[in-house]
Amino acid sequence: MKRLLLPALLALASPALALDPSWPDLQAALYEGRALLPGDDVIAIDAPYRSADDARTRIAAQVAAPEGRQLASLTVILDENPMPVSAVFSFTEPLPRFTFEATFRVNGPTPLHMVAETTDGALWVSETFVKTSGKGACSAPPGTDPEEALATLGNMEIALSPLPSESALDRLGALAHGQKQVDIDVSHPSHSGMQMDQISLLYIPMRYVENLDVELDGGAYVDITGSISLSENPSVSLSVPRAAGHIGVTMTDTDGTTTHAERALADY
């Protein structure tokens, strides 16, 4: 899934205050009659009750495959966003568990669904609801001058940080599972195609981070497919195996620009 701008899905995206929920139509379009199993024991979503900044809302999840199964992918769906399928994490090798955090635009009050697929083809869904200020984040003016943003477009910074947790016990549990967290900050205006240049009053062409390909120790780890729902200058944090010694990240945007960054992962 290299591009999430699907006309059919855009047509299904209803206004934030629509009377009819979008999820039944989205589910039918995305999964074509496949059963979605209750996933509250598989996916623990961490999202704000009300976004403090609609244009940069941090959404996270901890995902653990049911016993005897492995994770193949995770899809983040903001039902009422103009591009509902907001990010897809596709794992090169099956994983027993995965943690992520990323910054998203939330265009208006919306249900948030996450769907994990296991390698046996089963789908597991968990959901919550995010309230917003209703400012319409996807059409809000860019935070930086579009010309200035081009000068640093594609620059990336990679850092290590402890896995997010609510207690020392959770942190010890993460260490027991052999994980550490990598933070990836991408410089990119993430133009949605719905924003107006404040000087020319013309719409700024759509241009966003289409893919982040993450490699560990020279081998593919996870392919992240983006969308206009990713915030301006998006941040993405991922759990990686504690034994990983090196990471490489390749960004490709919808204009075909490609950049690369890498760093050693010191053990801690």
Q: What is the CATH number of the domain that holds 243?
A: 2.60.40.10
Q: Please, are residues 93 and 118 in contact by the beta-carbon 8 Å criterion?
A: no
Query: Distance between alpha carbon 8 and the CA centroid of its chain, in Å?
Result: 21
| Least trusted range by pLDDT, from 98-107, 125-134, 141-150 | 141-150
Residues 208-222 have pLDDT tens digits of: 999 999 999 999 999
Q: Is residue 195 part of a domain?
A: yes
- Model confidence at 6: pLDDT above 80: no
Token pair listed for 33: 């009659």
Domain assignment of residue 186, yes or no: yes
**Per-residue pLDDT, 171:** 47
Q: What are the distances in angstroms from CA 161 to CA 43, 84, 186, 240?
A: 22, 29, 16, 11
| Distance between CA atoms of residues 28 and 32, nearest Å | 5
- pLDDT reading at 106 higher than 90: yes
Please tell me the total number of residues recorded for the chain in this structure.
268
Pick from 158, 179, 148, 144: nearest CA to 236: 158
Nearest residue to 251 via CA among 220, 232, 225, 229 = 225
Write down the pLDDT at residue 268. Answer: 47
Q: Give domain status of residue 2, yes or no.
A: no
Number of structural domains the chain divides into: 1
Distance CA 179, CA 25 (A): 37
- Residue 133 inside a domain? The answer is yes
Residue type at position 238: L
40 residue type, one letter: D
Q: Which run of H or E residues covers position 258?
A: strand 258-264
Six-digit token string for 106: 């939330």
Q: Identify whether 1 is part of a domain.
A: no
Residue 74 has pLDDT above 70, yes or no: yes
> Domain range holding 202?
7-264
